Amino acid sequence: MYLTFDDGPNRGTENLLRILHKRNVCATAFLVGKHVYGSKKQQQDLELLRKDQLIELANHSFTHAHNRYTDFYKNPAAVVHDFDTAKDSLRLYDRIARTPGRNIWRLNNITVTDLKSSKDAADQLKQAGYKVVGWDLEWKPNNTMALKGKHEEMLKKVDSIFFNDLEKTSRHLVFLTHDQYLTDSDSVNELDLFIEKLQKSNRFVFRKISEYPKINEVLN
């Protein structure tokens, strides 16, 4: 189980760290470069993430496409440049990346593009040496940007993915949610219970994304 959290540093980052430490599980934070420069608090949260042994940092672009995804992916060179900017700015040198607004995979053995119009940009990221990791399961927000639904439903979805062999690599599940959904006590509690029940089932080990199979092999 690879717990991943996108768009940090953000509201909710500190709550996320509190849950991870309570449960003593590791996770990966896919950071947005510009968020680090959004406020003093976000800069401080980056330093909290950076020094935390349970956390691995990865690249989720500098601008997050300004949330205009269609335009962003039309210009593959600019996409690579945006990831390079985040890499240099945040010192994310292992080149593990996740595309904003798109569930794209470009690893040695896995090529997935959710929207075909992003294909060229994804291929160029791979050519530039990025290992692009999407996700198998997302815990989405409700209309108040809190976690939608209960942990029991998410646990059922985890089971369903394995039962139906829907994970990209057999027996490895990449889980995604966002720091910014962890600002209210219900969401914090639900994520905590989700992790606790995964742990108590004794069926899972938690790993950082750099330990995903074959991710560190040289790309073809």
What span, in angstroms and rounded, lies between the C-alpha atoms of 170 and 47?
34
From 62, 56, 61, 59, select the one nearest 3 (Cα to Cα): 56
As measured in angstroms, the least distance from the Cβ of 32 to Zn ion is 7
Stretch that binds Zn ion, among 95-103, 112-120, 128-136, 208-216 (CB under 5 A): 95-103
What span, in angstroms and rounded, lies between the C-alpha atoms of 56 and 136?
19
Q: For residues 6 and 82, which CB has a smaller minimum distance to Zn ion in the complex?
A: 6
> Given candidates 100, 113, 125, 139, which one binds Zn ion under the rule CB under 5 A?
100
- Using CB under 5 A, count the residues that bind Zn ion: 3
As measured in angstroms, the least distance from the Cβ of 98 to Zn ion is 7
In the bound state, the residue with its beta carbon closest to Zn ion is: 6
- Positive or negative CA dihedral for 203, 206, 209, 210? negative
- 6 sits near Zn ion (criterion: CB under 5 A): yes
Stretch that binds Zn ion, among 10-18, 47-55, 97-105, 129-137 (CB under 5 A): 97-105
Stretch that binds Zn ion, among 1-9, 11-19, 70-78, 199-207 (CB under 5 A): 1-9
- 7 sits near Zn ion (criterion: CB under 5 A): yes
From 191, 184, 179, select the one nearest 10 (Cα to Cα): 179
Q: For residues 7 and 192, which CB has a smaller minimum distance to Zn ion in the complex?
A: 7
Contact 49, 42 (CB under 8 A): no
Q: Which two tokens stand for residue 215?
A: 């991710």
As measured in angstroms, the least distance from the Cβ of 83 to Zn ion is 13
Of how many residues is the chain composed?
A: 220
What span, in angstroms and rounded, lies between the C-alpha atoms of 8 and 61?
11
What span, in angstroms and rounded, lies between the C-alpha atoms of 121 and 72?
9
Stretch that binds Zn ion, among 50-58, 88-96, 99-107, 121-129 (CB under 5 A): 99-107
As measured in angstroms, the least distance from the Cβ of 99 to Zn ion is 9
Q: How many angstroms separate the Cα of 64 from the Cα of each of 5, 54, 170?
A: 14, 24, 30
The binding site for Zn ion (CB under 5 A) comprises 6-7, 100
